[in-house]
């Protein structure tokens, strides 16, 4: 089962105060990003946030479950907590702040064969 577009849009909207919050389609589901950092996944209309010590302390007691078979457990944020935009934005902002920054992508290498010497 895949997530509904409306669910994804609602979560992104509710967490919007955290910064630049976006969702990208990944493997039939969605990755949730804050300021370019992958902070969670939306799978089967459920929100899974990457676990950090700060995130765990903020949410208190919460179920941890893998978003898909074979994945590491994440914080499973129940749907009734999505309605609290301030809570969701704070959790997403806190999670992003406690995850490593993505490595910059390397520039595309130019091919030497594309360069033709002039006679």
Q: Tell me the whole-structure pTM to 2 decimals.
A: 0.83
CATH of 5-102, one of 3.30.1460.30, 3.40.1260.10, 3.40.50.300, 3.20.20.10: 3.30.1460.30
Averaged pLDDT, 89-95: 97
Q: Tens digits of per-residue pLDDT, 45-82?
A: 999 999 999 999 999 999 999 999 999 999 999 999 99
Measured distance CA(53)–CA(70) in Å, rounded: 22
Q: Quick check: 97 pLDDT over 90?
A: yes
Q: Please state the rounded mean pLDDT for residues 75-90.
A: 96
Residue for token pair 């074979």: 70
Residue 95 has pLDDT above 90, yes or no: yes
- Asked if the model's pLDDT at residue 5 lies above 70, the reply is yes
Angle 105-109-113 from CA coordinates, rounded to 5°: 165
CA separation, residue 45 to residues 5, 11, 41, 80, 110 (Å):
9, 10, 10, 13, 43
What per-residue confidence (pLDDT) applies to 107?
Answer: 72
* Torsional sign, CA 70, 100, 31, 92: positive
What's the pLDDT at 115?
54
Domain boundaries, the chain: 5-102
| Sign of torsion over alpha carbons 79, 72, 35, 44 | negative
7-42 residue pLDDT tens: 999 999 999 999 999 999 998 899 999 999 999 999
């Amino acid at each position: 089962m895949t997530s509904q577009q409306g669910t994804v849009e609602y979560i992104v909207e509710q967490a919007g105060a955290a910064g630049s919050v976006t969702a990208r389609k990944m493997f039939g589901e969605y990755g949730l990003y804050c300021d370019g950092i992958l902070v969670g996944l939306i799978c089967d209309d459920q929100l899974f946030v990457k676990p950090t010590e700060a995130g765990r302390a903020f949410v208190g007691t919460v179920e941890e479950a893998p978003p898909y078979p074979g994945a590491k457990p994440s914080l499973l944020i129940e749907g009734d907590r999505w309605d609290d935009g301030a809570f969701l934005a704070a959790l997403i902002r806190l999670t992003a702040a406690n995850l490593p920054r993505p490595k910059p992508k390397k520039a595309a290498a130019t091919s030497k064969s594309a360069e033709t010497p002039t006679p």
